[in-house]
Amino acid sequence: MSGTFNRNERPLVDVRHLKQYFNINVGPLRTKPLKAVDDVSFAIRRGETLGLVGESGCGKTTVGRSILHLYKPTAGEVEFAGELIQTKRDIDELRKKATMVFQDPYSSLNPRMTVSDIIGEPLDIHKMYENKTEREQRILELMDRVGLNSEHASRYAHEFSGGQRQRIGIARALALRPEFIVCDEPVSALDVSIQAQVINMFVELQEQMGLTYLFIAHDILVVRHISDRIAVMYLGKMVELADAAEIYDRPLHPYTRSLMSAVPQPDPKIARANQRIVLSGDIPSPLNAPSGCPFRTRCPHAAPCCEESMPEFKEVESGHFVACHRVNEL
């Protein structure tokens, strides 16, 4: 956690009413929109880490890719450093300042390229060096920064362990000296013993380079360790957003409470007293999302009003946003 961001400063990333729909074939000449991200708004301050959590398929990764315009958003606005991202030129400029670390280090690296060429690829695309010596020097600097030896430069990705491959991916992401990185479940494919090393490296890099992160994960313990604030998603919607400690100690949305109740407690007394909230039913398909609140079909507190309208995502306490009709009653 950086903790160095200025709360009053204009956000580095401002996402407003983001929607990402994909048309899915459901029959002969018939399509239906799959609402992967449905009206999501949030801001990330410079130097901050915003953790984004939720079950698989809730739209977390799609949010990250839509911010970077790897997917063209169906609707909504993304503002970066005060500039609205609209034209192809805006997107090209954004790609120099914002980048992504992908989930799977096995599939996100080209097996036919050496480590040197993988890390140097962004430098080649954006022509960020004067000569080959400068390029080589920059690649070796990046490798050193993520804990790779210079003799690894001429080797291929398949010769490395999962943790080392993810370090290669992180070095590639740092090549253009970005301000903002979307970390898409960057440790979920790694052994638990390696996860802590990689997360600590993200923290160190943030302190050294003043980076801002959107850190996507389904493991709430991982997110809590690195995040200043945490946002919770369910079925394409944002349901809660607050400071990391606040979300962890005082979750207000029934879905967040269920997630938190499943977190293992090291203290046996607390673990015994902790009531596990088990949700009934399965997550509905985003193709056939329930009317009103998307969580109502599994919520123990659902009322008729939950079926009629989607609750507004609003600030119920200072810096604590929740989308729940019954938040004041629970």
- Provide the mean pLDDT of the chain: 90
pLDDT for res 265: 62
pLDDT for res 230: 97
In the chain, the percentage of residues whose pLDDT exceeds 70 is 93
**Site of tokens 């050294």:** 208
Q: With the CA atoms of 263, 46, 239 and 57 taken in that order, what torsion angle do they form, in degrees rounded to the nearest 10? A: -70
Segment 312-330, tens digit of pLDDT? 999 999 999 999 999 988 7
Residue 220 has pLDDT above 80, yes or no: yes
Segment 39-70, tens digit of pLDDT? 999 999 999 999 999 988 899 999 999 999 99
Residue 22 has pLDDT above 80, yes or no: yes
Edge-to-edge strand list for the sheet holding 30-44: 30-44, 13-27, 75-80, 83-84
Q: Which of 179, 37, 168, 184 is nearest to 94 (CA)?
A: 179
State the CATH architecture for 13-322: 3-Layer(aba) Sandwich (3.40)
**First-residue to last-residue Cα distance in the chain:** 30
For the residues 171-199, what does the mean pLDDT come to?
92
pLDDT for res 190: 86
Q: Which of 147, 150, 117, 151 is nearest to 135 (CA)?
A: 117
Q: What pTM, to 2 d.p., does this model score? A: 0.91
Segment 78-125, tens digit of pLDDT? 999 999 999 999 999 999 999 999 988 778 888 899 999 999 999 999
